[in-house]
Amino acid sequence: MPAILDITVSGRRVGGGVHLVVGAFVGDREASGALDARARKAVAHLLARGRFGGDEHERRDGELGPGTALTLFGLGRPSDLTSRKLRQFIERAVDAASGAGAARLAIAVPTHELAGGEAGGLRAARDAALATYRFDAYRAKKKRPALRGVALIAPPGGSAPAFRRGVEAGLAVAAGAVWARDLANTPPNVATPAWMAARAREGARRWRARIQVLGPPELRRRGMGGILAVGSGSQHPPRLVRIELGRGPRTVALVGKGVTFDTGGISIKPSSQMDEMKWDKCGAAAVLGILETLSRLDLPFKVRAYLPLAENMPDGAAYRPGDIVTLANGKTVEILNTDAEGRMILADALAWASSERPDALLEYSTLTGSCVVALGHTGAGLFSPDDELAGELLAAADETGERLWRLPLWEEFLDEMRGAHADLKNSGGRWGGASTAAAFLSQFVSGTARWAHLDIAGPAYVGESKEHRGATGYGVALTVAWLRRLASAARR
Q: How many CB atoms lie within 10 A of CB 353?
A: 25
Helices 282-294 and 160-185 pack at an angle, to 10 degrees, of: 150
Radius of gyration of the chain (CA): 24
Euclidean distance between CA atoms 482 and 404, whole angstroms: 13
**Structure confidence by residue, pLDDT tens digits, 290-311:** 999 999 998 999 999 999 999 9
Euclidean distance between CA atoms 184 and 196, whole angstroms: 10
Neighbouring residues of 372: CB distance < 8 A, sequence distance ≥ 6: 457, 458
Calculate mean pLDDT across residues 272-283: 95
**pLDDT of 491 higher than 80:** no
Euclidean distance between CA atoms 41 and 32, whole angstroms: 9
Q: Domains in the chain, please, with CATH?
A: 6-156 (3.40.220.10), 180-491 (3.40.630.10)
Higher pLDDT pick, 13 / 46:
46
Predicted confidence at residue 172, as pLDDT, reads: 97
Q: How many CB atoms lie within 10 A of CB 336?
A: 17
Please report, as a single letter, which amino acid is at residue 365: S
Please report, as a single letter, which amino acid is at residue 40: R
Q: Would the CA dihedral through 78, 81, 87, 91 be positive or negative?
A: negative
Calculate mean pLDDT across residues 138-159: 82
Predicted confidence at residue 97, as pLDDT, reads: 93
The residue count of the chain comes to 492
Three-class secondary structure of residue 40 per DSSP: helix
Predicted confidence at residue 32, as pLDDT, reads: 63
| Confidence category of residue 34, pLDDT binned at 50, 70, 90 | confident
pTM of the predicted structure, to 2 decimals: 0.95
Predicted confidence at residue 241, as pLDDT, reads: 98
Euclidean distance between CA atoms 298 and 296, whole angstroms: 7
Strands 461-462 and 470-471: what pairing?
A: antiparallel
Neighbouring residues of 319: CB distance < 8 A, sequence distance ≥ 6: 229, 230, 232, 233, 265, 266, 325, 335, 338
Catalytic residue check, 469: no
**Angle (nearest 5°) at CA 140 between 139 and 143:** 65
Neighbouring residues of 252: CB distance < 8 A, sequence distance ≥ 6: 301, 302, 303, 304, 358, 359, 360, 361, 362, 483
Predicted confidence at residue 354, as pLDDT, reads: 98
Predicted confidence at residue 417, as pLDDT, reads: 97
Higher pLDDT pick, 146 / 401:
401
Least-confidence region, from 79-93, 314-328, 357-371, 374-388: 79-93
Predicted confidence at residue 142, as pLDDT, reads: 74
User: Number of C-alpha atoms within 13 angstroms, CB side, residue 293?
Assistant: 32
Higher pLDDT pick, 37 / 470:
470
Catalytic residue check, 343: yes
Percentage of the chain exceeding pLDDT 90:
76
| Confidence category of residue 12, pLDDT binned at 50, 70, 90 | low
Question: Nearest-CA neighbor of 438 among 310, 309, 343?
Answer: 343
Catalytic residue among 269, 302, 320, 485: 269
Question: Nearest-CA neighbor of 412 among 388, 394, 439?
Answer: 439
Predicted confidence at residue 30, as pLDDT, reads: 62
Neighbouring residues of 205: CB distance < 8 A, sequence distance ≥ 6: none
Higher pLDDT pick, 78 / 144:
78
**pLDDT of 152 higher than 70:** yes
The answer to whether 243 and 291 have CB atoms below 8 angstroms apart is yes
Whole-Å CA distances, 378 to 391, 403, 459: 19, 7, 6
**Angle (nearest 5°) at CA 397 between 255 and 378:** 90
**pLDDT of 465 higher than 70:** no
Calculate mean pLDDT across residues 160-185: 95
**Structure confidence by residue, pLDDT tens digits, 401-458:** 999 999 999 999 999 999 999 999 999 988 999 999 999 999 999 989 999 999 999 9
Higher pLDDT pick, 225 / 488:
225
Catalytic residue among 60, 343, 450, 484: 343
Angular region, 238: left φ>0, alpha ψ -120 to 50, beta rest: beta
Euclidean distance between CA atoms 155 and 86, whole angstroms: 13
